[in-house]
Amino acid sequence: MSNGAGIKLTMTAAAEKFFRRMLRFANPEDAAGVRLTVSPGGCSGFNSEVLAQAGPREADTVVHLNGISLFLDAASCELLDGARIDFADTPTQTGLVFLTPRTTSCGCASSASIGLGPTVAKVDAKSIGRTTNKATAL
């Protein structure tokens, strides 16, 4: 486990509120932090999984943002380095948004590719606090 000192990652107030609510509604023993796993997926974008966990895994990097502990595996660290995590709740999208200098939307509106722009991961609000919380890039 490492402390995440080399990762440049920021979080908006909206994302912080989302993660705090997720931790508040999780089982108390699962509320030490948030596992955020991001992987390439879709036609050219990201898939992500978000769930509350009691602690990091042995090989995880722990990033502390605004008092929230994010548990990241090595692949997620690489994809999220330099990103800003946001949460969008608009008539056209609801979910986590990963804003990175390397991400753009493709024409299918269901994923994102490396370039400039946001990647949106939709999180089913009914699954918050359960161990099967899954987010998929739009």
Q: Which residues contact 42 (CB under 8 A, 6 or more apart)?
A: 108, 110, 111, 112, 136, 137
Distance of CA 122 to the CA centre of its chain: 10
pLDDT the model gives residue 105: 54
Distance between CA atoms of residues 36 and 20, nearest Å = 14
pTM: 0.70
pLDDT the model gives residue 93: 76
| 39-64 average pLDDT score | 81
Burial of 70 (0-12, 13-18, 19+ CB in 10 A): buried
- Amino acid letter for position 1: M
| Residue 45 pLDDT class (50, 70, 90 cuts) | low
Overall fold of domain 9-137: Hypothetical Protein Aq_1857; Chain: A; (2.60.300)
| Residue 97 pLDDT class (50, 70, 90 cuts) | confident
Distance between CA atoms of residues 96 and 136, nearest Å = 9
| 62-90 average pLDDT score | 91
Domain ranges in the chain?
A: 9-137
